[in-house]
Each structure stands twice: as structure tokens, then as C-alpha cells.
Amino acid sequence: MAVTFESTTRTTLGMTELFDLSRSIDAHKDSMARSREEAVGGVTSGLISLGQEVTWRAWHFGLPIRMTSRITEMQAPHYFVDEQVRGPFLRFRHVHEFRADPSGTVMVDRIDFAAPFGPLGRLAEKLFLARYLRQLIEIRNLHLTAGSRAE
């Protein structure tokens, strides 16, 4: 079983600016300071691009977590996709979409993931993982758009 959710953010930032901020390793690290997220392999600073990987080390639920993601699709400045290639999930796919709006940009994040551990993982998905991951995405997006008027 898998969980899918979507998060929409509206901002006055331009589409290209937000697209690049969303690919910034440094901005992501800053937005995840609470979980001490750090890029420890692959692209560790600057902008990540198609075919490149980053390995993150962070603390979630009091546990050290490592996850390597690869940019598997990209059409600048409209969308890119990152997918877990190694890490804690059976599957993790994050689609980042950007479209121009009269007041700036609409950013839509679509997350599709599956937890390991069979029935126990499915229970964790429903009880807390989906909500926790949605909150992480929302915190990240607030951080990325902090200099603009988010609607």
C-alpha cells in the first residue's frame, strides 16, 4: 500500500526563482534545521540537476536517518521529480510542479511513498507518517517563500 498527498503553495516569487530555490541544497538544509538535516553525499551544496543525487542525514522520531535521492525528471522551470534510490522507504517519489499565476507562482508538491515493514508500516503510514511528511513539506515551503507574500 502507498500514501499519496498533495500540498499547494502560492507565492509572489517568480516561477524560475522558486524552481531554483526548490532545487537548492542549501535552502533545503536551512528549512530542515529542526531535524538537523545535512547533505553528506553527492551534490552537497548549490543546485541539484537532472540525474544527480544527494544523500541526506537527518534525525526524525529521535532516530538517525539516511536517504539518497536522485533527480529523475526535469523540465525547467515547470517541474522536477526526486525519487529515493536508497533509504528508509520502500518507495518515495516527490513531484515538484510550478506554474505562473497572475500574482506570482503556484507550486504543487505531490508525494507518493510506501513505508517498509508490511502491516506495521501501513499502520505507521496512516497513524503518523503521512501527517509528519506533509508538515515537513509545508515547513519547507514556508521557508522557501518567506521573503514573499504567501497567500
Domains, the chain, with CATH or none? 3-144 (3.30.530.20)
On whether the CB atoms of residues 144 and 22 are closer than 8 A, the answer is yes
In the prediction, which pLDDT does 151 show? 47
109-146 pLDDT per residue, tens: 999 999 887 777 777 787 788 999 999 999 999 999 98
Question: Taking residues 74-96, what's their average pLDDT?
Answer: 97
Helix (H) or strand (E) holding 132: helix 130-144
On whether the CB atoms of residues 90 and 116 are closer than 8 A, the answer is yes
Question: Taking residues 29-47, what's their average pLDDT?
Answer: 96
**Separation between Cα atoms, residue 18 and residue 36, nearest integer Å:** 23
**Separation between Cα atoms, residue 71 and residue 96, nearest integer Å:** 11
Is pLDDT above 50 for 88? Answer: yes
Measuring CA to CA, which residue among 40, 82, 81 is closest to residue 64? 40
pTM here?
0.92
> Which grid coordinates belong to 112?
507518493
